[in-house]
Amino acid sequence: MSKFMRNRVRLFITLLVSFPLVVSAATSRFEEQGERSFTLVEHYKYHRMQYKDALIKQFYEQRRDANEGADRQLIQFISALRKDNFDWWLSNWNQNTQVDWQQKTELKKARRVYNYWRATVTKQSSVRLKDYILIGQYVLVGVQIDNEYHLLPFELENGYWRIDQAYMNAVFFQKLKQRLDAELAN
């Protein structure tokens, strides 16, 4: 065995023997404190405008390739449901949501969400725009479908307003929706 190889073997054995000592010395420096928690209070500012008597009577017959605002995009979203056009409906969601749903094909996530909305919006449903809320880079559009309030977050993506599923799952979004839903009930 060459001198170089013998030195490498010695170094390896030295490291192998001394490494557990270093690890045990490092772990004994700390005293376990247990699980801890803290409370974080956040304040959000938003600007809210309410629609007056905004019953939607006209829906689109086909997809429109135009940026006419978040509320018009909501009408496209509902029009796709009324026409039972899955691909058109799916095009109303942002890219991150679509990628997430493609990764969950085994769960049929996109189809499950679509079926939920198809059950919510029928051809006889009464659809009223209720709220237009600006918060950061998002526009939240509140809509009353029959007697149920829904709040959808729209984000400008590549020049088009798209719905963001991740934003809908945020805790503060859920709290805001509950608050607006309670106001509508009163």
Q: What is the mean pLDDT of the chain?
A: 88
Predicted pLDDT of residue 38? 83
3-state helix, strand, coil split of the chain in percent (to 5) is 45, 20, 30
Q: How far is CA 186 from the centre of its chain?
A: 28
| Cβ contact 141:152 at 8 Å | yes
Burial string for 146-168 (b: 16+ CB within 10 Å, else e) reads: eeebbbbbbbeeeebbbbbbebb
pLDDT of 46 above 70: yes
Domains of the chain: 47-185 (3.10.450)
Closest CA to 54 of 150, 151, 119, 132: 132
pLDDT per residue over 152-182, tens digit each?
999 999 999 999 999 999 998 999 999 998 9
